[in-house]
Amino acid sequence: MSAARDPDPLAEYKARRDFDRTAEPAGTLAEARRDGLRFLVQKHDATRLHWDFRLEWNGVLLSWAVTRGPSDDPHEKRLAVRTEDHPLDYGTFEGTIPAGQYGGGTVMMWDHGTYTPDTDMDAGLETGKLKVTLQGHRMRGGWALVRMRRKPGEKRENWLLIKERDAFARDDADRLTRDHLLSVQTGRAMDAIAQGAPPGDPPEPDTPARRKKRPAFTAPQLATLVDAAPDGDDWIHETKFDGYRCLAAIGKGGARLYTRSGKDWTDRFAALSRAFDPLPCDAALLDGEVMAAYIRGSAFSSLQRALKDGAPLVYYAFDLLSLDGTDLRRSPLIDRRARLADLLSGLPPNGPLRISAHTVGDGPALFAAACKAGAEGIVSKRADAPYRGARTRAWVKVKCTRRQEFVIGGYTPSDKPGRPFASLLVGQMENGALAYRGRVGTGFSADDLVALAAAFTPRQTSPFDDVPRAIARDARWIRPDLVAEVDFTELTADGHVRHGSFLGLRHDKPAAGVTPERPASDDTPRIAGVRLSSGDREIFPRAGCTKRDLARYVEAAGDRLTRIAGHRPLSLLRLPTGLQGQRFFQKHAGKGWPSELQRIEIAESDGNPAEYLYATRPASFVAAVQMGAIEFHVWGARTDRLDRPDRLVFDLDPDEGLGWPQTRDAAFDVRDRLAALGLASTPVVTGGKGVHVCTILRRTREWDTVKLFARTFAHILERDAPDRYVATMSKARRKGRIFVDWLRNERGSTAIAPYSVRARPGAPVAVPVAWDELAGLDAADTFRMAHMADRLAAPCPYLAALDDPQSLNAATIDRLDG
């Protein structure tokens, strides 16, 4: 009973039994395996009623006698006494052990199924801690076995069998043993087994009492093949599974499982029949993929074997289309994924129903990692997209390998004894005809050869529209209704597969729908060289402005934006779904940001480094728009000398009760006071309610000096005109006054960039103006994005000021102090 492998681990089992008198199997040591592991529980009415809990490991059944039976209440810790290992043949034994024999009494097959170790089994047997996930008829989910400390003189190993807290747990200590009194194998009660009654039908499994009918099948969304993974945080990425696409409809009467073409494959996926039982809902429609639980060789061929052998399956859910009668297909994918994660949150991580993991952004790097790990590829999905039952570019797939489906239209005979054919002749539908695509001659197992030959239906003529004469001469033609999954190295110039390898038959796809899969042409529009997705999304509903309109404006203003706001740490106000949606201020660089935006590491005020973005060209700003940005906010220093600010900004922010004339007059007052100190300035109407009065500086002073100057200047304004100005942020003191915000002039603070659009109704723009022009303006939000063409063609006073920087010298500071 130790973890170490005994020369004959069944020696004790055999020594205790007289196989001439008992019907128990003598058994032999089986080959050890690490997948498809079985577990079983036998109710055993011997000297004392107990339940024998058995786990397949190292070719035997590890065994524990559970005196009060298993409990799915996590508060219950059931004594489980370790007994001798049993042969795997014992896994079907049900009957009566004669009196006088070891364990004499009636044995019922109370539960059986498969399990997954959640810990290292050999190490756990040594340390006394095992965790497993069971997929049985009655015991399901996570369970733990914990060995108790031996008391002095105690020979037996006492363990505790404990249910893990998950969706299969119940607050009823004796529910399992009280409610399940019949054999899962023969449907007989203990008395009937003892009396030798003939086997009956197994009992119907428990199904949850759901109150709503199952949702109807809906056509699944399909991914478009592309050459490169998309970049940016508005995409999420998932592993591309190599299994069967499957929609799971859950409701009254249980779950039904459908292929992507709508075939009901619930019976074929019988191993998943109860996987959806613990979901806390009355009805749901999930989208996902069925995979083999244990992969040996390719994932698809492993799935084929699992379906043939009845081995465990896993359903990886990646979308939730409806829940309890609510259609979720119009909701953004990221919201549907959140609802799906919540629905599946109580399930064990290694159970038959799992959520498909996803990554936000960084598509190219994730694709490279997937290929390196040997995956088929990735599927990338727009995070904000609704679910559409068609092939769209909101879902795209990128493949690491060349793999497609082909219709089998014939074969070439083999000259090897016992081999029914040498290679398959395959094609794909094009223009209503079956176009020949070459031969597939490898990848067949012995079972594949037999099964394929049996499935062929001969025909006299070629189903292909064009077969090379040399191939057709020896070919045998068959009815073209079988679909094969084929891996190949490349397509030749004439479109034929090179080095084709058979992976398996696709029973879920009709032959008529098998067409060439080619990467879609990249028709995504480019603006300033940047791919722009969802260009028709309305960003400013009242103004009728779309994401494409915003990107085109930013491209047009790009040269000015680059000169004024380029090469400065950049913060973005992002509204990925437009003015009506969620907004957030992004200060630091994130994963998956476009390469058009550069990164720089800057020490924060706490000394820790952080990555910031900065723009270097018009495409940088367009790339930010692609990521959902509307507003650009920049530092008062450039990236090459972050310690030396090159501008002063006084943000004049009026109280709610003040009108535009007071704000405009305040700007002229600030201009005159700065001029008296020898400093020229330029006004920028912010597109909101206020004005920024800006002075371009020579980079001769550090932040502390510039900040102190700005602070002192603002407080002098308040001192001289306390009824007009306030220099502190206190809302109570700002009533009826203009807040002179000098805080824009400290390290790390930002101000709206001139020519940035504002995230306000009507799409206003922050625009530099001349002083004489300011006098004639009626509001700070006069300029609108849709009417900026003439403005961008006119001279810019801010650009002129950049060519004439001012000096914040000692004399200027002295005059301010004076």
Q: Which residues does the annotation mark as catalytic?
A: 240
Tell me how far apart the alpha carbons of residues 117 and 197 are, in angstroms, rounded to a whole number: 37
Tell me how far apart the alpha carbons of residues 3 and 405 are, in angstroms, rounded to a whole number: 47
Q: Give yes or no for a contact between 398 and 458, defined as CB atoms under 8 angstroms apart.
A: no
Tell me how far apart the alpha carbons of residues 500 and 437 are, in angstroms, rounded to a whole number: 10
| Residue 603 Cα to chain centre, angstroms | 32
- CA-CA-CA-CA torsion for 521, 527, 529, 530, nearest 10 degrees? -80
308 CB-contact burial (10 Å; exposed 0-12 / middle 13-18 / buried 19+): exposed
- The partner residues of 570 in beta bridges, in order of sequence, read 613, 634
C-alpha closest to that of 233 among 489, 590, 506, 511 = 590
DSSP tag of 688: S
Q: In sequence order, what are the residues at sequence separation of 6 or more whose Cβ sits closer than 8 angstroms to the Cβ of residue 426?
A: 406, 407, 408, 409, 436, 437, 438, 439, 440, 484, 486, 497, 500
Report strand pairing: 738-741 vs 725-726: parallel
State the Cα angle at 748 between 746 and 754, rounded to 5°: 85
- The partner residues of 39 in beta bridges, in order of sequence, read 55, 113
- HSE (side-chain half, CA atoms, 13 Å) at 692: 25
Long-range pairs of 298-307 with CB within 8 A, sequence gap ≥ 24 = 298/242, 298/487, 298/503, 299/241, 299/242, 299/243, 299/376, 300/242, 300/243, 300/485, 300/503, 300/504, 301/445, 301/503, 301/504, 303/242, 303/243, 303/244, 303/504, 304/504, 304/505, 306/271, 307/268, 307/269
Tell me how far apart the alpha carbons of residues 74 and 80 are, in angstroms, rounded to a whole number: 15
Q: In sequence order, what are the residues at sequence separation of 6 or more whose Cβ sits closer than 8 angstroms to the Cβ of residue 700?
A: 644, 807, 808, 809
Q: Give yes or no for a contact between 645 and 701, defined as CB atoms under 8 angstroms apart.
A: yes
- CA-CA-CA-CA torsion for 540, 543, 545, 551, nearest 10 degrees? -80
- The partner residues of 526 in beta bridges, in order of sequence, read 531
Q: What does the block give as tokens for 182?
A: 């019949």
Whose tokens are 């539908």? That residue is 429
Q: What does the block give as tokens for 175?
A: 């529910």
C-alpha closest to that of 230 among 85, 73, 64, 359 = 359
C-alpha closest to that of 405 among 517, 259, 258, 245 = 517
Tell me how far apart the alpha carbons of residues 528 and 177 are, in angstroms, rounded to a whole number: 70
Tell me how far apart the alpha carbons of residues 1 and 181 are, in angstroms, rounded to a whole number: 30
Long-range pairs of 665-671 with CB within 8 A, sequence gap ≥ 24 = 666/691, 666/724, 666/725, 666/738, 667/691, 667/693, 667/774, 668/771, 668/774, 668/775, 669/717, 669/721, 670/717, 670/740, 671/771
Residue 502's H or E segment, with its range, is strand 500-505
Tell me how far apart the alpha carbons of residues 598 and 616 are, in angstroms, rounded to a whole number: 7
Q: Give yes or no for a contact between 521 and 510, defined as CB atoms under 8 angstroms apart.
A: no
Tell me how far apart the alpha carbons of residues 314 and 269 are, in angstroms, rounded to a whole number: 10
